[in-house]
Structure 1
């Protein structure tokens, strides 16, 4: 043995899986939070004897702890809850570019609907359409003689054209609104996953800090007790 390592270079043995692993993937028993230690006790009551637990088994215990906590608070786990649990287990990120992800799903008809709806709600469409209306009315009321007017008052042909434009434009606008609702729903799901993971991670940090503070206080108490015993021994030697 050299510095706590064996000849194969391993620092210790995991109390759950029994593998001999290097120190970088092992966690001392004293540093495991009580909530996770309780779950490990349920799977293997003798896991503390080796003094270590590997990172994989600790991650599995963390996953089980999060799943149990969410079940107690929310009841049945949803698809989004399981996605958060998987990201914690694999130490992955959940933040995605919703705009790029949604744009990749859009087909030609979806993009065309968005462009038509965007143009129909712009000042360019309003001003150009107003110019066409004024020119149409002026052309059929002022410029030409009565015999040459192709759409005399009350402009029946103009009403037909406006009705056709409205009938065609309305479905495009509805399609674009439906796509916007789907985009908002995707963005809301992403925000929910990120917020839930952040909440769970913050809880883990609080539990870990509380555990470390308790352990530090216990060690300080032990050191103080040893110092008191040493002082008592010195006092007895002086008196003797």
Structure 2
């Protein structure tokens, strides 16, 4: 099931342009090193791990293409997001030596095999991974919402008034004395119940009087 969300301008296109610029610059550098004589970087002979030569160029091209696909897709596609995360993870794995080098630089103890050019290349590869990760986050925010853990928004129905309440409001506007519809109905019911009881009592008394008159008429006079 795919969901759509209104697209926000600004950050998404900026990330796409930055990622394309990175793909052109860093991919061009990898292309130059692939076509020409490749430099030797101790201690592994290469600046990246696993992605050397044309594989590094292809990785840059795939990263740029995935970023463009994320920017132009307006619906949530799990396969596209998964592919983007795989490419970002490949870029991080290729620059895995960057972490121990950063620690050695923070401790002011770089090893004898430290090469500034290789360090800059690994830093550039990690930068591409960070940009691609931000692009995936922006894609998820656009298509799935800022906070997926929140409950979906449900539209609320406006409160409605029944016919009695509308009539009461009309009486107030017309200058008449308004009463609560339930209270008015309750008072009417009480009046009807009281009238029924009174009629029943009067009927009982009139019947008893008639019986007394009839009994006196039938008795002998003294």
Name the structure with the higher strand share.
Answer: 1
Larger radius of gyration: 2
TM-score, normalization: structure 2?
Answer: 0.32
TM-score, normalization: structure 1?
Answer: 0.30
